[in-house]
Chains A and B, each alone.
Chain A
């Protein structure tokens, strides 16, 4: 009961804020809605017993990445709204239609998979002992997924170097 209430409230918030993000004309408002959206997603994670991810979501997404967006929005202080210029070749309606089709398709897939007789659920292979355990997550990251983890860190390093190169002014 309480869980359902929380889920529906959060879902409405998440979707509503997402719509607000892509419809607001003012970019800064958009960014603020995005932050609120991410915070709601973080709360959702708590309900899914992923406290560590919730905190990371707030710390990295809301506290880091979106601040970058805000920074850039303020730096590119826009004189005119980018929406004013319309490329005649742009087919916005078709884009909308396509997105609708994707939504329908996804809904179809979900409906199909759940109306069908329950396929044997994916077995919890080697079920982890404790849920939401940071320690367990750490073990997984540093043992089974060590190589992806290192690759991710290299990716971040490359991104960092790339960003510096891009943003550096030629003096």
Chain B
């Protein structure tokens, strides 16, 4: 009983809290990093160096008036942010944050596919938000979003197939163990796939330079134009939770999850003194930082260019990568 119910529930509770809290600090990190990139200071008022800004923001959002436009579809308008947040949180169930069983909730044999399929549900949140607002800019944004997310989902899934081929398993823990066995992070085995997943991940999470659905300068905020208060905050949470998911997936698939660098070289065994979860979070942080960095640097793609990139560049490369991986797998 304790083994099957209490411990998993405890883990879920801890993980959910950790994710939600880290999301609020992600916003602070993003504001700070972008500010430094732009030779500003960023938030400095709340607490020392503005660290309490991460708490002030959610409080503000909770206390704000939550407005539903008169002509909106009330049910869908409320449902949409929930739909976009829940899948983002559900996928954490299969992310292994460390080597020990303590650090993941479950390890299912279709783990990677589970992540892909559950995140694909998140698109409904954006589409329904745009539709339910009964407003033109959100509608445009949601049409953009649905096309963008489906296209990039294909590209990312295709790319992941080559990783699955290399690892020979769909389980997230299994993939890390496969990297341990082969002694190489798959980032070195599958560099093309790594780059494709990174680009696709940016597009899947609607981050710059692919933030078409919420392009403020074009669509005045996109699908969440009509949202305010807590419902807006849910979208916000979903976006950052998705960023964390993508970073975690990239870490697991390409950067050896909780493994230390060069797991096969015994001379570096002293690195194992650092606990596995620290390695994991360290790697994840690198990718989160990368996401923010890219946002501060790059202009935004145009919608048709984005689709062209997805269909005419990423998908063909992904297919080519599968073929090459398959041949290599057979030959070696």
Contact = CB atoms under 8 A, between A and B. Distances in A.
Interface of A: 26, 28-29, 32, 35, 39, 51-52, 55-56, 58-59, 62-64, 67, 70-71, 74-75, 134
B297 interface: no
Contacts of A58: 117-118, 120-121
B123 A63 contact: yes
A110 to B, nearest CB: 32
A6 B170 CA distance: 27
Contact of B143 (A28, A64, A74): A74
**Most chain B CB neighbours (cut-off 10 Å) among A51, A52, A55, A56:** A55
Contacts of B117: 55-56, 58-59, 62-63
B88 to A, nearest CB: 14
B182 interface: no
Interface of B: 73, 75-76, 79, 108-110, 113-114, 116-118, 120-121, 123-124, 127-128, 131-132, 139, 142-143, 146-147, 150, 153, 157, 170
Given A67-B146, A71-B143, A74-B131, A134 B110 contact: yes
- Chain B, interface SS category: helix
A70 B153 CA distance: 17
Nearest to A71: B146
B170 A134 contact: yes
**Most chain A CB neighbours (cut-off 10 Å) among B79, B113, B123:** B113
Contacts of B108: 51
A9 B150 CA distance: 31
Given A63-B117, A70-B127, A52 B76 contact: no
A62 to B, nearest CB: 6
Contacts of B76: 28-29, 32
Nearest to B116: A59
Nearest to B150: A67
Nearest to B170: A134
A43 to B, nearest CB: 12
Given A29-B76, A67-B146, A74-B143, A59 B124 contact: no
Contacts of B128: 28, 32, 70
B109 A67 contact: no
A52 B131 contact: no
